[in-house]
Structure 1
Amino acid sequence: MLCQLNINNFAIVRFLELDFKAGMTSITGETGAGKSIAIDALGLCLGNRVDTNSVRAGASKTEVSARFTLDDVPLAKRWLEDNDLDLDDDCILRRTISAEGRSRAYINGNPVPVTQLKSLGQLLVGIHGQHAHHAMLKSEHQLTLLDAYANHKMLLDAVSSSYQRSRQIEQELKQLEQAQHERLARKQLLQYQVEELDEFNLGTTEFIEIEQEHKKLANGSELIESCQHTLSLLSDNEEANIGSLLYQSISLADRLGEFDPELAQVSEMLNQALIQVQESASEIESYVSNIELDPQHFEYLENRLSMAMQLARKHQVSADELAKHHQALKIELEDLSSDETKLDEIKQQLAQSREAYQQHAKKLSQSRTRYAKELNKLVTQSIQELNMPKGKFCIDVDFNEDAMSAMGSDKVEFTVTTNPGQPLQPIAKVASGGELSRIGLGIQVITAKKVSTPTLIFDEVDVGISGPTAAVVGKMLRSLGESTQVFCVTHLPQVAGNGHQHMYVNKFNKGGKTETMMTPLNKDQRVNELARLLGGDIITENTLANAKELLQ
């Protein structure tokens, strides 16, 4: 629960240090005194948006801190653990705002984003404003109220998760279908190109090989003639050839070696040269004897080479890269074919995700229907106690399997009849302002009992209510305060008198500046404040007696 609130230089508050207790705390004050100012300041600690007028005139910054005990708030404890923030018996939320509008947030002294203040704050405090009953006219808010009462968060999460999954798959399917036309055109082109290259079937290194063989056969006659001439020079010419000349040279070198040993190696070198010449001549003879100048094979090579170069130009690659390009096109075609399979898989996944959504949405709808019946009885009882003795309240839950949203497939409508014999109609059509206030307050109190938030604030939710009805409202809030810490900003003495404690807000001028203070009242002070609420500025014995009676 909220134990302490410290406010420095916020709006017209210079400094406030407020200690709070369990139970119901009534907050009253004169019109314009700023009864809601402490709640607005607390809202900053809960992550509310910063107002440009938050910083007190002349001050450099606003600072607000709120201290909570977490003894009975396991969800908040778990949240602090999950977010690696210091966990102690108490939790302190703090917010500072500079005059320039810069905001900083802290949890237990640790700097945090404002979004974390808001996330944790929702587990600590629930605020019900004076205009909440107007929001109740909207279908989406009616749905929120019913879900808050049902408290079926797991069902809501399952529906939301399956809805988001379906939306994600739908988007993926849409993207695939949008590209399908382009993909089909590309696939048709690839099929033609791959079939053409498959038919040609050029090997990975084949172009280089046929290019070399074609070059050899294209120059076959000149090649044979050159080989024969080389053989003639090496050994075949009877008049003079390199082999015979080397024989003669070896003989002369042998004699030189006899005359001078230093020349002995010359004979050896010439012998090596003779061996090389003989082996070269043998190699050429073998080559010439095996070479075949087949015109048909040459024509085959020429046609294949020409076709390879033609296809290479067509595909805008070099001829020696054509085989590699062929393989790349085949891979791309396979990928496109797998995309078609993926499209079918995505459609199947979408059907499955929608089926899963429908199952979760039906379970959620069933839960809403069950809790709507329960809430119907409680709200009907509540509004009858609030001076609508013949009133009846009913929630219509209409499931539409064709409607999908993160909140399910239900349309929820609050209906009411306030007069006997009249049929149930949508609340916006039949409820007057006062009746709407009472119905809204009844729903807020009932739903507040179901939530686990340890601190609840009702900010002038009793607007439009008076007399005996106000007394019933006061008793409702006091009953709620027996199990939950309740703050109630009110102008009704019948409500204020039901508080376990009472705080008074007043505004005054000090040093030419306006200030607001909030102070706790003792029993005698409470009597005087209730008397003021009952009779205005002039307090009589009768109003004092009535005030004392209210406190009893």
Structure 2
Amino acid sequence: MLAHITIQNFAIVKALELDFHSGMTTITGETGAGKSIAIDALGLCLGDRADASMVRPGEDKAEIVTLFHLQNNPAARRWLEDNELTDGDECILRRVITKEGRSRAFINGSPVPASQQKSLGQHLINIHGQHAHQLLMRNDYQLTLLDQYAGHQHLLVTMRQRYQEWRAKRNELKQLEKNKEAFEAQKQLLEYQVSELNELALGETEYPELEEEHKRLSNCGDIAICSQSVIQALSEDEDNNALSLLQYAQQKLAELTTMDSQFTPLMQMLDEACIQVQETSHEITSYMDRLDMDPARLNYLDDRMATIMRLSRKHQVLPEALYDAHQALISELDSLNDSDNHIEQLTQDVELKHQACLASAEKLSKSRKRYAKELDKLISASMHELSMQHGKFHIALNSQPESHLSPMGVDSIEFLVSTNPGQPMQALGKVASGGELSRISLAIQVITAQKVDTPSLIFDEVDVGISGPTAAIVGKLLRRLGESTQVMCVTHLPQVAGCGHQQMFVTKTSEKGTTSTNMILLDISARVHELARLLGGSEITEHTLANAKELLVAA
């Protein structure tokens, strides 16, 4: 519950400190005194938008600090723990606005974005404004009220998740189908290119091997001549060849070893040299025997290499890279072929996600219908209490699975009322007068508020358009709500103000060209005088004082 608020230099408030209590607290004051000022300041600590106009003229900054007790608020405690901002059983919210319009927000002393204050605020206070009956005309707000009363948050979360999953898959499928025409054109080109390269059937290392063979066959004559010259020089020249010279040297070295043993190791070296010359001559002779001067083979190589060169230019790669380019095109074509299979699989996934969506929507619809019937009875009964004896209230729910699927399910909603005997049920805004609309709105807010988890409720002049005996009933409804929940009510009605467990009075004073607003907690005597003022205006008589006392006694 809200325990304390400190306000400094906010709007027309110079400095204000207020303690709040459990039960129902009513806030009254003269018109224009700023009865809603504390609520506006509180809104800033709950993440409302801030601007420079909120800073009191002549001051550098405005500051609002609120203290909440969390003993009976597990949702807020859990939020603080999840965000690592917990500080025992208390929560302090602070907001600072500079005259330049800059804003800073704090939770338990830690700086946070205002959006985090707003997120936490949903677990601390629920504010019902004086224009709530205007929101009541909107179907989306009507659905929100029903869902709040039903308390099926888990169904809403599941519905939203499944809808998002279905929509994501559906969008992916649409994008694939949209690109399919372009893919088909690309696929046809790839099929032609792959077919052409498949016909070539180039091996991974074929081109370098072809180059080597082509070079050999092209120079076959020169190779034969040079090879023969080498053989002659090594071993076959009759007059002079390397082998005969080495053999002669062997003979002479053998003579030297007989004269000096130091020449013996050199004999082995010459022996090896002779063997190397003989083997080299033998290998070249063998090569020449295998050398095939085949013109037909050379023509084949010319044609093969020309085809490879032509296709490599076509694909803008080097001939050595044509094999890899071929493999890349095959892979790309396989990927496009897989996209057809992917579309088929994705179509099945979309349908499965859609069915899961509809299943969640059906559960949500059943829950809404159940609680809608419950609300029909409660609000109709409350209308009777609020001097609409023949009033009837009905929530019309229409499920449209095929045309109305959204993150909120498949239901369209409309609040229907009948305020007079024999009058058919019609849309709320078409039937109810201004006063009736205010009463119906208040009945709905009070009833739905009992199901909301937040431990503090603020009603800001929601009793506009209500007077007389109905106002007394409104006061009793709010007091009854205050027995289990902290309720704060800004009001101008004495019947409502008198029902509070405690009452605060707002004053506005002007001094030396400046205006200030203040708020004080009234004791019993002061409450009687304030209720008398509300009853009789500026002139307070014994009669109005007696009436005021009766109001307090009745409350």
Length-normalised TM-score, structure 2: 0.95
Match of 2:331 in 1: 331
Match of 2:281 in 1: 281
2-structure distance, mates of 1:493, 1:415: 31
1:504 equivalent to 2:502? Answer: no
The AA in structure 2 aligned to 1:372 is: A
Match of 1:142 in 2: 142
User: Alpha-carbon deviation of 1:148?
Assistant: 1.3
Match of 1:363 in 2: 363
User: Alpha-carbon deviation of 1:465?
Assistant: 0.6
C-alpha contact (below 8 Å) 1:534/1:547 kept by paired residues: yes
Q: How does 1:4-15 map to 2 (within 5 A)?
A: 4-15=4-15
1:487-521 CA distances to partner (integer Å, 9 max, x unpaired)? 00000001101000000000012343211110011
The AA in structure 2 aligned to 1:462 is: D
Structure 1 stretch displaced more, 20-29 or 304-313: 304-313
Match of 1:455 in 2: 456
User: Alpha-carbon deviation of 1:374?
Assistant: 0.8
C-alpha contact (below 8 Å) 2:52/2:97 kept by paired residues: no
1:539 equivalent to 2:540? Answer: yes
The AA in structure 1 aligned to 2:537 is: G
C-alpha contact (below 8 Å) 1:77/1:87 kept by paired residues: no
User: Alpha-carbon deviation of 1:251?
Assistant: 4.6
Match of 1:476 in 2: 477
C-alpha contact (below 8 Å) 2:61/2:96 kept by paired residues: yes
**3-state DSSP class of the match of 1:537?**
coil
C-alpha contact (below 8 Å) 2:52/2:102 kept by paired residues: no
**3-state DSSP class of the match of 2:397?**
strand
**3-state DSSP class of the match of 1:304?**
helix
1:486 equivalent to 2:487? Answer: yes
The AA in structure 1 aligned to 2:15 is: F
2-structure distance, mates of 1:529, 1:369: 46
Match of 2:466 in 1: 465
User: Alpha-carbon deviation of 1:46?
Assistant: 0.7
2-structure distance, mates of 1:457, 1:188: 69
1:73-132 CA distances to partner (integer Å, 9 max, x unpaired)? 111111111111133121111111111111111111111111111111110100000000
**3-state DSSP class of the match of 1:243?**
helix
Match of 1:399 in 2: 399
Q: How does 1:83-102 map to 2 (within 5 A)?
A: 83-102=83-102
1-structure distance, mates of 2:325, 2:269: 53
**3-state DSSP class of the match of 1:434?**
helix
1:206-227 CA distances to partner (integer Å, 9 max, x unpaired)? 1111211122122222222222
Q: How does 1:317-466 map to 2 (within 5 A)?
A: 317-402=317-402, 403-466=404-467
Structure 1 stretch displaced more, 525-534 or 77-86: 77-86
The AA in structure 1 aligned to 2:419 is: T
Match of 1:22 in 2: 22
2-structure distance, mates of 1:512, 1:453: 41
**3-state DSSP class of the match of 2:277?**
helix
**3-state DSSP class of the match of 2:317?**
coil
Length-normalised TM-score, structure 1: 0.96
1:525-552 CA distances to partner (integer Å, 9 max, x unpaired)? 1110001001100011111111111111
Q: How does 1:246-325 map to 2 (within 5 A)?
A: 246-251=246-251, 271-325=271-325
RMSD in angstroms over aligned alpha carbons? 1.9
**3-state DSSP class of the match of 1:25?**
strand
2-structure distance, mates of 1:453, 1:241: 113
User: Alpha-carbon deviation of 1:271?
Assistant: 4.9
Structure 1 stretch displaced more, 43-52 or 168-177: 168-177
User: Alpha-carbon deviation of 1:256?
Assistant: 7.1
2-structure distance, mates of 1:26, 1:154: 35
User: Alpha-carbon deviation of 1:411?
Assistant: 0.8
2-structure distance, mates of 1:522, 1:352: 65
C-alpha contact (below 8 Å) 1:477/1:486 kept by paired residues: yes
**3-state DSSP class of the match of 1:53?**
helix
Match of 2:205 in 1: 205
Match of 2:131 in 1: 131
1-structure distance, mates of 2:537, 2:516: 23
2-structure distance, mates of 1:70, 1:134: 33
The AA in structure 2 aligned to 1:319 is: P
1-structure distance, mates of 2:247, 2:232: 16
User: Alpha-carbon deviation of 1:250?
Assistant: 4.6
Match of 2:49 in 1: 49
Structure 1 stretch displaced more, 506-515 or 377-386: 506-515
Structure 1 stretch displaced more, 35-44 or 208-217: 208-217
C-alpha contact (below 8 Å) 2:227/2:288 kept by paired residues: yes
User: Alpha-carbon deviation of 1:253?
Assistant: 5.8
1:223 equivalent to 2:242? Answer: no
The AA in structure 2 aligned to 1:187 is: K
User: Alpha-carbon deviation of 1:252?
Assistant: 5.3
The AA in structure 2 aligned to 1:483 is: S
**3-state DSSP class of the match of 1:396?**
strand
Q: How does 1:92-131 map to 2 (within 5 A)?
A: 92-131=92-131
**3-state DSSP class of the match of 1:421?**
coil
1:189 equivalent to 2:218? Answer: no
User: Alpha-carbon deviation of 1:264?
Assistant: 8.0
The AA in structure 2 aligned to 1:56 is: R
**3-state DSSP class of the match of 2:508?**
strand
**3-state DSSP class of the match of 1:450?**
coil
2-structure distance, mates of 1:89, 1:329: 67
The AA in structure 2 aligned to 1:442 is: A
The AA in structure 1 aligned to 2:126 is: G
2-structure distance, mates of 1:70, 1:244: 113
User: Alpha-carbon deviation of 1:418?
Assistant: 1.2
**3-state DSSP class of the match of 1:47?**
coil
C-alpha contact (below 8 Å) 1:437/1:465 kept by paired residues: yes
User: Alpha-carbon deviation of 1:49?
Assistant: 0.8
**3-state DSSP class of the match of 1:17?**
strand
**3-state DSSP class of the match of 1:179?**
helix
Match of 1:515 in 2: 516
Structure 1 stretch displaced more, 358-367 or 236-245: 236-245
Q: How does 1:158-197 map to 2 (within 5 A)?
A: 158-197=158-197
Match of 1:71 in 2: 71
Identity %: 55
**3-state DSSP class of the match of 2:6?**
strand
The AA in structure 2 aligned to 1:159 is: M
**3-state DSSP class of the match of 2:450?**
helix
The AA in structure 1 aligned to 2:490 is: V
User: Alpha-carbon deviation of 1:258?
Assistant: 7.7
User: Alpha-carbon deviation of 1:293?
Assistant: 2.7
1-structure distance, mates of 2:316, 2:290: 39
Unaligned runs of 5+ in 2: none
The AA in structure 2 aligned to 1:20 is: F
**3-state DSSP class of the match of 1:123?**
coil
Structure 1 stretch displaced more, 85-94 or 469-478: 85-94
C-alpha contact (below 8 Å) 1:16/1:517 kept by paired residues: yes
C-alpha contact (below 8 Å) 1:130/1:463 kept by paired residues: yes
Structure 1 stretch displaced more, 244-253 or 385-394: 244-253
Match of 1:40 in 2: 40
The AA in structure 2 aligned to 1:74 is: P
Structure 1 stretch displaced more, 321-330 or 524-533: 321-330
Structure 1 stretch displaced more, 267-276 or 283-292: 267-276
2-structure distance, mates of 1:510, 1:263: 131
Measured at CA, do residues 320 and 523 of structure 1 come closer, stay the same or move farther in structure 2, by a change above 3 Å?
A: same
1-structure distance, mates of 2:266, 2:150: 113
User: Alpha-carbon deviation of 1:257?
Assistant: 7.5
User: Alpha-carbon deviation of 1:330?
Assistant: 1.4
The AA in structure 2 aligned to 1:99 is: K
Count how many residue pairs are aligned between Structure 1 and Structure 2: 552
Structure 1 stretch displaced more, 210-219 or 536-545: 210-219
1:445-478 CA distances to partner (integer Å, 9 max, x unpaired)? 0000111110000000000111111111001000
The AA in structure 2 aligned to 1:144 is: T
1:119-154 CA distances to partner (integer Å, 9 max, x unpaired)? 111101000000000110111111111111111111
C-alpha contact (below 8 Å) 2:51/2:97 kept by paired residues: no
**3-state DSSP class of the match of 1:281?**
helix
2-structure distance, mates of 1:265, 1:144: 108
2-structure distance, mates of 1:549, 1:95: 42
